[in-house]
Amino acid sequence: MGRFNELTINLVGEMNQLLLVATGDVPALYEAKRIVQKLGELGYPPFQTKIILNRASRTDIDVPELEKTFGLPINTFCPEARRELHEAYADGKLLPPGSSLGKQISLIARELTGVQIPEAKSSLLTLLPAAWRLKSRR
């Protein structure tokens, strides 16, 4: 969203949800707070704003203090994943869904779409220790 201008102000009335992504550094957090305040002034419902901290973890940041500052909960923390991203880009592939960042992106997508990924069904055989399974094959 960046700087507010006539276009962005008009778009506020058309949005049903806003994902505000910021890093944990002071200038980015200051700008994010400024955006949240401006949205409030424009009458945008706070519950429709989701704050995502990129390249951050709960252990790096004073979460209660930050939530108090924004007046909103921090919804998601996307971890630092430079190496994973570099490898995926270098290989011309998507980020592996099992990676820490891939899991967070999947979570955000599921929350936005309401689509749930079915859990893998486990059979009794998968619950048995590997040694027992090997014995039964002999």
- The two tokens of residue 34 are 């400024």
The answer to whether the CB of 20 falls within 8 A of the CB of 49 is yes
Q: Residue 15: which pLDDT band, with cuts at 50, 70 and 90?
A: confident
pLDDT for position 133: 43
pLDDT in tens, 46-90: 999 999 999 888 887 888 999 999 999 999 999 899 999 999 999
pLDDT of 12 > 90? The answer is no
Q: For residue 105, give every residue at least 6 positions away whose Cβ sits within 8 Å of its Cβ, in sequence order, or none.
A: 78, 95
Short-list 21, 79, 10, 14, CA closest to 52 = 21
pLDDT in tens, 80-138: 999 999 999 999 998 888 889 999 988 898 988 888 766 655 555 555 555 444 544 54
Q: Residue 33: which pLDDT band, with cuts at 50, 70 and 90?
A: very high
Q: In this structure, which topology does domain 6-137 adopt according to CATH?
A: Rossmann fold (3.40.50)
Domain extents for the chain?
6-137
Tell me if residue 133 falls in helix, strand or coil: helix
Q: How is 66-92 classified by DSSP, letter by letter?
A: HHHHHTS-EEEEEPP-HHHHHHHHHHT
